[in-house]
A and B are shown apart, each in its own frame.
Chain A
Amino acid sequence: MANSLARPVAGPHGEEDFPKGHPGRNDYDPESQEAKDWASQNVHPLGERDFPVGHTAAADTPGNLNHLTWAPGVDPLNPHREAHTGRTPAQVEGLRKLSEAASRQAQESPVTYPVDAAVLNAMLDTRRKDLGRDLLTPEEYQSVVRDYHVQRSSDVEKATEELKLTVRDQAISYVMSRGYSLEVASIITDREGPERVLQQAGIKPR
């Protein structure tokens, strides 16, 4: 079909109505080279072309990049470069060595013990007020954390002990995991016996 976007050009006698070779011109000669060139540019059976002639993405445009595969993070014109970073192999190797050396020297993260954020934050605030500044040094911070654990240790032990599930609790917990409510699970556990429930489930009491 004719490309309606083809624009007329300014000729020697002013603006022309249609470009050279266009069938709308009064001097249209279908056998002329200009008409053939215009047709090759603008007339195609419906659906034959993906893009106009000369378009950078048209399959017959010299130098188009349609054959390239755009994998995520990879520059297809520089596939040797590292994906997502664009680094050269030399850079990658240099960084790998540097990183390897750094990882050898890196420390594992310290183990932290769970705390109640509200309580410890209140204790930290008290220390901040005492010192008259907001930022505590690591030593000051750690001393508050130590105080927290000393003060809370008995409470934590008590809470841990309270939360430690009995054999009956474990059996009820298992029955609940099968979809029963706490009340029904309690009845089933008491009727069957907690040890039997756990044994049948293949669970060793903890």
Chain B
Amino acid sequence: MGRALEVVAGFATNPGATFTALTASTGQSFTVRGTDINKPTWLLSEWAFNASVGELRIRSPRLHDFFSGIRNRITAAFSMPPNFTPVNDSYAQRLYAQDNLTVELTGGGAEIDTAALLIGYEDLGGVAGRFIDVPTLLKIGLNVVTVEVTVTAVATGNFGGAVAVNSSIDNLIANTDYAVLGGTTDTRGDAVGITGVDFGNLRVGFPAEPSVRNLTANWFVQLSDAFSSAWIPVFNSANKTQTTVDVQTNGAGGTFIINLNCVQLLPGSVPGGATGAAVQAGGGGAPTSAGQPH
């Protein structure tokens, strides 16, 4: 069993002023995955992308109350967390195994409105993703590299347009671990998702908001920092063709140029990765020590 991070997104069609339960994106669910009840699961963030102003509401009898619960105003055309933002410090809502969260939106009367929850599992049965914390990143980080991909989103409100991280520029060093600090987008949507074996095949993600780069550019670093835990995803370039980036947005669809801000890591420092011993040694002759200047 191991750590997992999952962005679960959904959409409401023509919600208008009526709280409308979100339809989860294909293959996703707002029911918290089954875990040992002793192992904490966290709602680390939430955000919504509405074309019209609205309200995002998250309720459960297991949370504060089932009457109004967590309810936040969503400003139009701005895909940022109204609550649980990892900027500076924050507070995560504990979630409980198998709890069916009621996630609702209001918004426009003739549009698809969207929202996303970011759920962190400290120990999820049958799943083990590779994540590091900030001190580890500072200790084993080597070089900064940007992964740029172009994603064509679908207009159905689901995640779509998945492309491999090397689909636009194939510059990753063979058999090398990379930490994903966060990313940026040039187009507004709801959520950018990154999926791969190294993340336990669950989708990690961040808000697709182009105007607040100081939050999304190092989203996972800020999450790790704010919640004092390991939430920085790590993938190995041996899996680059199967590590994909996609986008979930509203009925407008669109073409998104996504930059993932990554850091090359010292080979063999993060457990659970590909050993990459088949042909070429990890890192292609990378140094054996790393770290930030002091």
* Given A108-B159, A109-B244, A163-B125, also A133-B279 (CB < 8 A): yes
Instruction: Please state if B211 and A73 are interface contacts (CB–CB under 8 Å).
Output: yes
Most buried by A among B37, B130, B155, B253: B37
Task: Please report the C-alpha to C-alpha distance between residue A89 and residue B35 in the assembled complex, in whole angstroms.
Answer: 51
Task: Please report the C-alpha to C-alpha distance between residue A132 and residue B213 in the assembled complex, in whole angstroms.
Answer: 42
Instruction: Please state if A129 and B37 are interface contacts (CB–CB under 8 Å).
Output: no
A190 CB, min distance to chain B CBs, angstroms: 15
In the complex, chain A residues whose CB is within 8 Å of the CB of B47: none
Instruction: Please state if B201 and A163 are interface contacts (CB–CB under 8 Å).
Output: no
In the complex, chain A residues whose CB is within 8 Å of the CB of B125: 159-160, 162-163
* Given A111-B26, A117-B128, A121-B274, also A106-B211 (CB < 8 A): no
Mask of A170-194 contacts with B, CB within 8 angstroms, 1/0 = 1011101100001000000000000
Instruction: Please state if A165 and B37 are interface contacts (CB–CB under 8 Å).
Output: yes
* Given A112-B201, A116-B128, also A134-B174 (CB < 8 A): yes
Task: Please report the C-alpha to C-alpha distance between residue A104 and residue B279 in the assembled complex, in whole angstroms.
Answer: 41
In the complex, chain B residues whose CB is within 8 Å of the CB of A105: 152
Chain A 92-117 residues near chain B, CB threshold 8 A: 95, 98-100, 102-117
**How many of chain B's residues touch chain A, expressed as a range?**
35 or more
Task: Please report the C-alpha to C-alpha distance between residue A103 and residue B275 in the assembled complex, in whole angstroms.
Answer: 38
Task: Classify the secondary structure of B's interface with A.
Answer: loop
Instruction: Please state if B62 and A173 are interface contacts (CB–CB under 8 Å).
Output: yes
In the complex, chain B residues whose CB is within 8 Å of the CB of A98: 255
In the complex, chain A residues whose CB is within 8 Å of the CB of B272: 117-118, 121
Chain A 68-109 residues near chain B, CB threshold 8 A: 72-73, 84-85, 95, 98-100, 102-109
Nearest chain B residue, comparing its CB with the CB of A95: B255
**How many of chain A's residues touch chain B, expressed as a range?**
35 or more
Mask of A150-165 contacts with B, CB within 8 angstroms, 1/0 = 0010011001101111
Instruction: Please state if A103 and B154 are interface contacts (CB–CB under 8 Å).
Output: yes
The reply on B63 being an interface residue by CB < 8 A is yes
Instruction: Please state if B278 and A121 are interface contacts (CB–CB under 8 Å).
Output: no
Instruction: Say which residue of B4, B66, B236 sits within 8 Å of A202 (CB atoms).
Output: B66
The reply on B126 being an interface residue by CB < 8 A is yes
The reply on B88 being an interface residue by CB < 8 A is no
Task: Please report the C-alpha to C-alpha distance between residue A131 and residue B4 in the assembled complex, in whole angstroms.
Answer: 30
Instruction: Please state if A111 and B239 are interface contacts (CB–CB under 8 Å).
Output: no
Which one of A14-22, A59-67, A135-143 is at the interface? A135-143
- For the complex of A and B, the 7 pairs showing the least CB-CB separation, nearest first, are A103-B253, A111-B27, A128-B278, A118-B272, A109-B162, A163-B34, A112-B201
